[in-house]
Amino acid sequence: QMSDAELVAGIQRLKQEKDIVVLAHFYVQDEIQDVADHIGDSYQLAKLAQTTPQQTICFCGVNFMGESAKILSPGKQIIMPDINAGCPMADMITIDEIERVKAQYDDLAVVAYVNTTAETKAHSDVCVTSSNCLEIVRSLPQKNIYFIPDINLGSYIKSQVPEKNVILHDGFCCVHHKIRVAAVQEMIAANPDYKVLVHPEAQAEVVALGDVVGSTKVLLDEVKKNDAPGYIVCTEVGILHQMRKAAPGKEFLVPTRTQTCRSMKRNTLQKLYDAMDTMTPEIMMDEELMQQALRPLEKMMELSL
Ligand code: 13P
Ligand code: SF4
């Protein structure tokens, strides 16, 4: 049994010995964020996975992130501390549902949130993340947009891009969906000068209360301005680690107790060390599926400049 300090030292040593870059999403536990080479939102991490010179990436996040990295950089070796850390939202849409809506419209683009399986991506026209969804949907030539699977991010896009007919699916992220509007309102009433930061995976009533609405990076960038006495944070609590570093001494309030993603928390220092030590588990995917899922991911990269 190694202590946390020994694990961290071991991880740093393995990075050097094996030329591995460690990428971590803002929602993983603090200790992993601190040992990672880069931390970021979904889009930043996908881009970094493509551009980083190292041929081996250890991806601390959920498995659709590792898969997207593999699809975009098939020549690289992608390992993950826990390959079974999955985003429940990714399993909320079926291919049948996509094909049924496709059959109903001539002028339709299927826009898939990156929080989807490779198979779903293979049946979609373009992928988006919460940081590029508005610009990408606006730029598409099609009038009808089938946005899958997040009903909340879809509703947000619908409200911001009224010139499109956005057709919604009924998926959701339980971490964000369960943030209660009444709890947020109470906090605002008690702290009227605090800024309200909302991820668009939250319900529309909560999004409507946001002073800033955006991806984890956008919310963190707002805190970096450090111009409010405190913040009401309506997203997953992992982001607090970087927010507290960005604005030390400020108060960060979290409206509900369920703002923790269990999948992200499956990443531990021990599993990170073991993955780098053994170079497993590694993301392995069917060649044909990878090629089909590459098209919408590449289109996202092209359109989000
Ligand atoms: P972003 O980091 O892109 O905002 O995504 C949030 C999320 O829920 C990732 O699973
Ligand atoms: Fe999925 Fe939500 Fe967890 Fe992100 S926070 S991985 S969307 S369940």
Is 258 inside a domain boundary?
no
42 lines ligand 1 (CB under 6 A): yes
Judgement on whether residues 69 and 209 belong to the same structural domain of the protein: no
Residue 63 CA, ligand 1 centroid: distance in Å: 13
Q: Which residue has the tokens 């960005």?
A: 246
Task: Encode pLDDT of 202-261 as tens digits.
Answer: 999 999 999 999 999 999 999 999 999 999 999 999 999 999 999 999 999 999 999 999
For residue 164, what are the contacts with CB-CB under 8 A and spacing of at least 6?
A: 137, 138, 140, 143, 144, 145, 157, 158
Task: Encode pLDDT of 170-216 as tens digits.
Answer: 999 999 999 999 999 999 999 999 999 999 999 999 999 999 999 99
Q: Looking at the CA of residue 25, tell me the nearest atom of ligand 1.
A: 2
Rg (CA), the chain: 19
Determine the 3-state secondary structure of 198 from DSSP: strand
Is 57 inside a domain boundary?
yes
Confidence band for 3, pLDDT divided at 50, 70 and 90: very high
Is 43 inside a domain boundary?
yes
- 8 A C-beta contact, residue 220 and residue 256: no
Judgement on whether residues 69 and 16 belong to the same structural domain of the protein: yes
Judgement on whether residues 77 and 98 belong to the same structural domain of the protein: no
Residue 80 CA, ligand 1 centroid: distance in Å: 17
Q: For residue 88, is pLDDT > 90?
A: yes
Judgement on whether residues 111 and 154 belong to the same structural domain of the protein: yes
Pocket test for ligand 1, best of 60, 215, 233 (most atoms within 8 A of CB): 215
* Ligand 1, atom 2: closest residue by C-alpha: 41
Domain boundaries, position 42? 4-85+264-284
Is 100 inside a domain boundary?
yes
Rounded Cα–Cα distance for residues 133 and 135 (Å): 6
259 lines ligand 1 (CB under 6 A): no
33 lines ligand 1 (CB under 6 A): no
Starting from the CA of residue 304, give the closest ligand: 1
Judgement on whether residues 156 and 113 belong to the same structural domain of the protein: yes
Judgement on whether residues 161 and 139 belong to the same structural domain of the protein: yes
Judgement on whether residues 74 and 134 belong to the same structural domain of the protein: no
Q: How many other CB atoms are there within 10 angstroms of residue 105's CB atom?
A: 16
**Which run of H or E residues covers position 95?**
helix 95-104
DSSP assignment letter at 66: H
Q: Which residue has the tokens 């610009």?
A: 135
Is 157 inside a domain boundary?
yes
Confidence band for 76, pLDDT divided at 50, 70 and 90: very high
Confidence band for 166, pLDDT divided at 50, 70 and 90: very high
Tally of domains in the chain = 3
Q: Output the pLDDT for position 61.
A: 98
Is 17 inside a domain boundary?
yes
Confidence band for 156, pLDDT divided at 50, 70 and 90: very high
**Which run of H or E residues covers position 21?**
strand 20-25
Rounded Cα–Cα distance for residues 96 and 100 (Å): 6
The residue-averaged pLDDT of 150-168 equals 98
- Closest to 263 (Cα-Cα) out of 173, 203, 179, 198: 173
Judgement on whether residues 125 and 274 belong to the same structural domain of the protein: no
Judgement on whether residues 51 and 199 belong to the same structural domain of the protein: no
- 8 A C-beta contact, residue 82 and residue 274: no
For residue 8, what are the contacts with CB-CB under 8 A and spacing of at least 6?
A: 31, 34, 35, 269
Is 259 inside a domain boundary?
no
Q: What is the ipTM of this complex?
A: 0.98
- 8 A C-beta contact, residue 81 and residue 106: no
Q: Tell me what percent of the residues of the chain surpass a pLDDT of 90.
A: 99
Domain CATH number, residue 298: 3.40.50.10800
